[in-house]
Structures are given as structure tokens and as C-alpha cells.
Structure 1
């Protein structure tokens, strides 16, 4: 007798891993909210994108931003946050196609630092349009110190969290097999 095969988009272990990742992003952002622009979300998004691909990185991004903004405040900036993180995740997906990039934690950490600046740039571009500001560069430059903090935080969090998430990922993959 043939067993009916069901289509599962996520394995149980992968779903648990993604849920744990969203929870880690949420707690990490809330825990570090007193420090301006220093939080582990960007680094975690990049790690997940490296491990599981762009789609899952985007999924963790959207859920994490929506959940944390329920606590911290929801507004039009939520869309800017999701879009900025999404563009960074897509760019990470492109870089992940290079084997040199995938094997070099240093290159990945450098990209995470760059992502802090890119996030601020994209966010400022969207804000200028949404709020109808007359000039982009003065607005962007005023927030540059926050982007610098975001970039430094990304690099530090990436170097700390990458090995931890790698071990968790390997354990999850072994359970799936």
C-alpha cells in the first residue's frame, strides 16, 4: 500500500530553527534598544541568508521587524526598515554565490559592517521621499553617526554570532537527516 506523500515547505526542524531565529532577533533588538542602532538583527539576517538562502532571510526579516515594532512602535518607518533590510539580504544572497565569500568569515563580517551604512542610506532615501524632505544629503549626513554605530555593531555581532548559529545550523541539519 502506497503512503500518501504530503508537500511540506519547511521541515519541522527548519521551522523550529527559523522560529528560534525570529525570537533571537526580537529579544536581541529589545535587549539592546537603549543603545542607538546597535542590535543583532542585521547580523542574524545575514547569517540566516548565508545558511538558508534569501527567501528564509526575508522571512525572518519581515517577522522580526513586525514583531519588534509591535513593542517599539509601528509606523511608516516599518516599511522603510523591511525594505532596507530586504535589499541588504538580497545583496547578501548575490555575494553568497561566490565560494570565496561563503568560506571567508572575514569577508562576511566586512559585508555586515558595510550593511550598516547601506541600511542607513536606503532608509534615508525612503524617508526623504515619504516625508517630502527637500534634500537628501543633509538628512543622511545628520544620521551618519547612527549608521557608524550600526556598522560597528553589525561587525561585532556577526563575529560573535556566526560561529554560534553555525553550530546550531549543523545540529539542525543532522537532526533532519
Structure 2
């Protein structure tokens, strides 16, 4: 894990800088920013190529998990903020680490928006889901994440953090002058959706955690994929 931490931090810095640029560039360059952030998400993987040979089946695994996370949004399209994406990203990062979680989360956001529609919100979603994977991977060895209750609380908290970060994009995009009243109104208005996301994370983690972790661990051990540091 240590050898990937520096590339991951560089990628995270690129994410933050690119998100800051959305305040100035707004809607007209969101596709370019999305591609820049996708490159940032993949940077740790490319850096890993310089340190050890990475097998094609590892790339396939990351692509499949990203696709599964992306497609999982579609059946729940009619239910705002209810989606298993965060749970899948958390479980993938728990087994394969922060690097994989970061990539899966960011790529899933970009790919799923091919169906839901790309927009200036896409880079922010990539950042949020990437951060969910990153933090889940960093914490996977702690006693907190190893307990089912701890993992559920982690998912619940990130349901709110996801919405709070997305609110920043919303506030930046408004033509109105900044005011704390506007900020409070935005966060109050988003409470229901944030709560729905948080609760759905708990539900999906409860349903998927046992089976998914066993299956992914089996793949990791049997084929030596993305071995823990």
C-alpha cells in the first residue's frame, strides 16, 4: 500500500485542482474536466506499471468491477439517491485496496453517466465515489472496518458526505451572490436525498457484504490479483 500512496495523493491533488476550475469554466468544459479526472484516477494504476508487471486479468477485474458499479445505478434510476454504487465501491476497496477503490469509483461515475447524462456534475461525482473507494481502502485494515457495524456506519456517513460535497458544486453553479442563507437552504433541501443515500448504503452493504467479500477474496487469493501490500 505504501508504494501506491504517493501516486494516489498526486491523483487526488489533480482532482481537487480540476474541481476548483469548474468554478470558472462551468458547463462549457465539463467533458474535458471529466477526462482529466479520469486520467487522474488511472494515474496510480499507470504508476503501478513502473513498479511491477500488472497482468491483463487485473485490468479486466478493475474494468468489470467499474462496469458492475456503473450498471447497478440503472435499475434504481427512478429512486433518487438510492443506488448500490457506493456499496460496491466500498466492498471492492475493502478487498483490493485504496488504489483499486479510487479507480473503480471514479470510472463508475463517468461510465454510468453515459446513460444518465454527462454534465458539470460528472467530475464531482467521480471525485466523490473515488474518495469513497480511497478512504475505504485506507481504512480496510482497521478494527473499525473489519466489523460489520463499523462498515455500515462508514457507508452511512459517506452517504451524507457525498451529498455535502455535491452541494458545493450546486452552490458554485448558482448565478446568485454567495450567502450563508443560500448555503443553509441548499443543505436543508438536500437532507432527504442525503439520508436516502446513507440508508441505501447501509441496506446494500448489509445485503452484499458477506457474499461479495467472499467472492472477491477468493479471486484475489486464487489468481493473485491486486494483492494486499
TM band (smaller chain): 0.7 to 0.9
In structure 1, how many angstroms separate the alpha carbons of the residues matched to 2:127 and 2:70?
Answer: 18
Aligned residues: 170
Unmatched runs of 5 consecutive residues or more in structure 2 = 1-51, 225-229
Is 1:149 aligned to residue 188 of structure 2? no
| TM-score for both structures, normalised by structure 2 | 0.68
Unmatched runs of 5 consecutive residues or more in structure 1 = 1-6
> Any idea what the Cα deviations from partners look like across 1:99-144, whole Å, max 9, x if unmatched?
x123202100111011101101111023212335532111111011
Aligned to 1:171: 218
Contact 1:17 1:172 in 2 (8 A): no
In structure 2, how many angstroms separate the alpha carbons of the residues matched to 1:97 and 1:171?
Answer: 18
- Taking only aligned residues, the RMSD between alpha carbons, in angstroms, comes to 2.0
Counterpart of 1:101 (choices 138, 144, 147) is 144
1:11-160 superposed matches below 5 A: 11-98=55-142, 100-133=143-176, 134=178, 135-160=182-207
- Is 48-57 or 31-40 further displaced after alignment? 48-57
1:167 positional shift: 1.8
In structure 1, how many angstroms separate the alpha carbons of the residues matched to 2:215 and 2:64?
Answer: 10
In structure 1, how many angstroms separate the alpha carbons of the residues matched to 2:173 and 2:131?
Answer: 18
User: Against the structure 1 CA distance between its residues 175 and 12, is the aligned structure 2 distance closer, same or farther, given a 3 Å change threshold?
Assistant: farther
1:79 positional shift: 1.1
Contact 1:101 1:108 in 2 (8 A): yes
Query: For 2:64, what is the secondary structure of its paired residue?
Result: helix
User: Whose relative contact order is higher, 1 or 2, with alpha carbons under 8 Å and at least 6 apart?
Assistant: 1
In structure 1, how many angstroms separate the alpha carbons of the residues matched to 2:133 and 2:71?
Answer: 20
> Any idea what the Cα deviations from partners look like across 1:49-68, whole Å, max 9, x if unmatched?
21111111111112111111
Consecutive aligned runs of 4 or more in structure 1 exceeding 4 Å deviation:
none
Query: For 1:8, what is the secondary structure of its paired residue?
Result: coil
In structure 1, how many angstroms separate the alpha carbons of the residues matched to 2:136 and 2:209?
Answer: 15
User: Against the structure 1 CA distance between its residues 27 and 88, is the aligned structure 2 distance closer, same or farther, given a 3 Å change threshold?
Assistant: closer
In structure 2, how many angstroms separate the alpha carbons of the residues matched to 1:45 and 1:63?
Answer: 11
> Any idea what the Cα deviations from partners look like across 1:19-51, whole Å, max 9, x if unmatched?
321222122101111111101101111111211
